[in-house]
Chain A
Amino acid sequence: MNNPQANADQDNTPVRRRSIDIVQAGLSKRYAAEKRFQLYGKLAITMGLLFLVLLFTSIISKGYSAFVQTFVHLDVQLDASRLDPDGNRDPKVLARADYGGLVKSTLRDMFPAVTGRSDKRELYSLVSNGAAYQLRDMVMKNPDLIGSKVSLWVPASSEVDMLMKGRVDRKAKEGDRQLKDKQIAWIDSMAKEGRIEKRFNTVLFTAGDSRDPELAGIGGAAMGSIYTLLVTLILSFPIGVAAAVYLEEFAPRNRWTDLIEVNINNLAAVPSIVFGLLGLAVFINFFGMPRSAPVVGGLVLTLMTLPTIIIASRAALKSVPPSIREAALGVGASPMQTIIYHVLPLSMPGMLTGTIIGMAQALGETAPLLMIGMVAFIVDIPQGIFDPSTVLPVQIYLWADSPERAFVERTSAAIMILLGFLILMNALAVVLRKRFERRW
């Protein structure tokens, strides 16, 4: 910018360039570098968001249809001679009656033209096996219905469900499909009569696992997850906080405590399946605890989340300004009183956040629970922490393995529900942190 020679004064000594001119000269390069840097940041965020969008789109597109289920309308004649021949309304007799047979005869009556064993079998397979159980429950609850004609909506079989949801290619060759042409014809005629309807799939939320996709639900797995997380929370929060308080406030600074700190940090990075092996060896083999139970799962997950909670709690305790501690000590508070009345309340937001994040991690853990047996096929919904159960991520894994096409959408639906829980828990962590921070 400035030509030193041009600004030379009379005796030809060059004038120094002003600093500001040098700065101006380099400015455009600096701004270009700034813009590039910002661009990299924006690109990174865009890529991250893109992957997130891809993930959510693929899951939701596969799973949204699982929230509805196809139902078939049946008018069943509750024939007294088949259900209750003695007329005693004896519950034991009623429970063992042939409800499946009733369903089959209803279907035959709807399509009288169907003859031949294999054709009839194909007709019966249009409706779920669960129809018989549904009928039985109806009769057991109200035995006075026997003899009358009842009208109910039963779940269609999963192949019909897939057809109605458009996941079956009607144009494919018959040999490549599950549903034969005749079956499709029957379905279409039922649809024309208004006997086929899609309704909200409550079974997905309430029922336990099942081999039949239309009867399968996450109820058992969700309860198992809740019990397991409950055990984990009750054990890991007090132990983690107490350990962090001791290590941070009371422990002397020597080689032993350094060793403990290194070990805790390492434990946080240990692969979770190792904890599963530990659980198997110690809790199940040595202590003889029930296999597949939430209590063992909770213990294993406690071991896994303890390092996370301890590290987060120590960081929260360290962040309390020493002036508060000195103030409390200065009026004669004992170390315990200083911690309980002043340090803990101030560090609680950080501790809670760490705990909730640890819990969210535990909710999604599969590998350690596989080792202790929570991968079994369990149909009953667990009633307590000692009942065998499975957890949501394991349920997803099991369903992902199943061959039925209907399980594909249910797997994605279960993933959506699990993600929903995780988002909820993380949102709770943020809300709690904001609420405690706002107080003072």
Chain B
Amino acid sequence: MEIVEDSHKTTNLEHPHVADPVHVSKTATVSRESRETIGDIFVDDPRISCRDVNVYYGEKQAIKNISLDIGKNEVIAMIGPSGCGKSTFLRCLNRMNDTIIGCRVTGDINMDGQNINSKKIDVVPLRAQVSMVFQKPNPFPKSIWENVAFGPRIHGLANNKAELDEIVVTSLKKAGLWEEVKDRLDQPGTGLSGGQQQRLCIARTIAVGPEVILMDEPCSALDPIATARVEDLIDELREQYTIAIVTHSMQQAARVSQRTAYFHLGDLIEVGETNQIFTNPRHQLTEDYITGRFG
């Protein structure tokens, strides 16, 4: 009974939820009731900056007044319990929420001096610039070559077949898939293993030459070895692209990202350097989550 009363004082070393225990000292100063975002929300020279973004599914409000900056060439991880709105927020960044009937997004999402959340802007080139990798690998039911070549072809990025071939090869190499598929480019993409399919999807995304890559739990359907390969890939891609990754795994967030944002029931609770979030969280809710009290 003693243990229950002092539960908030125990470290998480004994707690079974966190597989990879990070030493967390009790540092949270902001109480659970506060919903103000704390931490470094804003950065200098952001790639994308969001101000007062709200998302409604019909009457239900899924994202409540979130402001966040995403810096250039950084990997920002979005973590939080299920249903907290991280995927919804991610999908706002390339207007994928437009495909959901009844979904309404308000607020400003500024990129390159333009508000991409306005009705005036054409989403087709936006999605070529900010492209997305989904949770469940979804290669087209066509050949591997076709999968990667589809994007460049419809955007007119190549003038002839030779250039298209070059783009395909480069993208597959960057995605770390080239060695495995170079002699079976005409085989169906759906015949690859799960990890290979996800890397194919990443290659497909890279082929259109985006500047920002959004990843919605890219490794949740993969085994640990495939996961490790994709995480290495993310590290390499960081040099050229800005990456925003939603993940359920705190260990993954700790491994790949520079900044981490913690979401809770539609609110952005805390943003900060990954190291700081996982060792010295300032908000009580953040601390609760990463020590495994819930989520």
A residues adjacent to B (C-beta < 8 A): 253, 321, 323-334, 337, 341-342, 346, 440
Contact = CB atoms under 8 A, between A and B. Distances in A.
B186 to A, nearest CB: 12
B208 interface: yes
28 contacts: A324-B138, A326-B96, A326-B138, A327-B204, A328-B150, A329-B96, A329-B99, A330-B96, A330-B131, A330-B133, A330-B134, A331-B127, A331-B131, A331-B205, A331-B207, A332-B126, A332-B127, A332-B151, A333-B150, A333-B151, A334-B124, A334-B154, A337-B154, A341-B150, A440-B141, A440-B142, A440-B188, A440-B190
Given A326-B99, A334-B124, A440-B142, 11 more contacts: A326-B134, A327-B201, A329-B96, A330-B133, A331-B127, A331-B128, A331-B151, A331-B204, A332-B124, A332-B155, A341-B150
B64 interface: no
Contact of B125 (A323, A326, A332): A332
A326 B94 CA distance: 12
Contacts of A341: 150, 154
Contacts of B131: 330-332
B136 interface: yes
B249 to A, nearest CB: 22
A331 B208 contact: yes
B105 interface: no
Contacts of B151: 331-333
Interface SS of B by simple majority: helix
A321 B137 CA distance: 13
B132 interface: yes
A332 B99 contact: no
Given A327-B201, A328-B150, A333 B124 contact: yes
Nearest to A337: B154
A331 B150 CA distance: 9
B88 to A, nearest CB: 14
Contacts of A328: 140, 150
A333 B151 CA distance: 7
Interface in B49-84: none
Contacts of A329: 96, 99, 127
A186 B151 CA distance: 84
Given A332-B127, A334-B124, A440-B190, A324 B99 contact: no
B210 to A, nearest CB: 9
Nearest to B206: A331
A332 B190 CA distance: 21
B125 A346 contact: no
A323 B138 contact: yes
Interface string B79-101: 00000000000000010100101
Nearest to A253: B101
A330 B155 CA distance: 13
A327 B201 CA distance: 8
Interface SS of A by simple majority: helix
A330 B140 contact: no
B208 A332 contact: yes
Contacts of A337: 154
The 9 closest A-B pairs by CB, nearest first: A332-B128, A331-B151, A440-B141, A332-B127, A323-B138, A330-B132, A327-B138, A334-B124, A440-B188
Interface in B233-275: none
A333 B131 CA distance: 11
A437 to B, nearest CB: 11
B43 to A, nearest CB: 26
Most buried by B among A329, A330, A333, A341: A330
A337 to B, nearest CB: 5
A45 to B, nearest CB: 36
A328 B142 CA distance: 12
A377 to B, nearest CB: 54
A323 B136 CA distance: 8
A346 B134 CA distance: 20
Contact of B134 (A323, A332, A333, A342): A323
Interface in B132-176: 132-134, 136, 138-142, 150-151, 154-155
A10 to B, nearest CB: 40
B229 to A, nearest CB: 21
B154 A342 contact: no
B141 A330 contact: no
B150 A330 contact: no
A333 B134 CA distance: 16
A323 to B, nearest CB: 4
B232 to A, nearest CB: 23
Given A253-B101, A440-B190, A332 B138 contact: no
Contacts of B204: 327, 331
A330 B133 CA distance: 8
B130 to A, nearest CB: 9
Contacts of A325: 99
Most buried by A among B131, B132, B140, B155: B140
A390 to B, nearest CB: 46
Contact of A342 (B125, B126, B140, B155): B140
Nearest to B101: A253
Contacts of A321: 138
Interface in B111-133: 124-129, 131-133
Given A342-B140, A440-B190, A330 B127 contact: yes
A332 B154 contact: yes
B27 to A, nearest CB: 39
A100 B125 CA distance: 82
A400 to B, nearest CB: 50
Most buried by B among A253, A324, A327, A440: A327
B94 A330 contact: yes
A330 B140 CA distance: 12
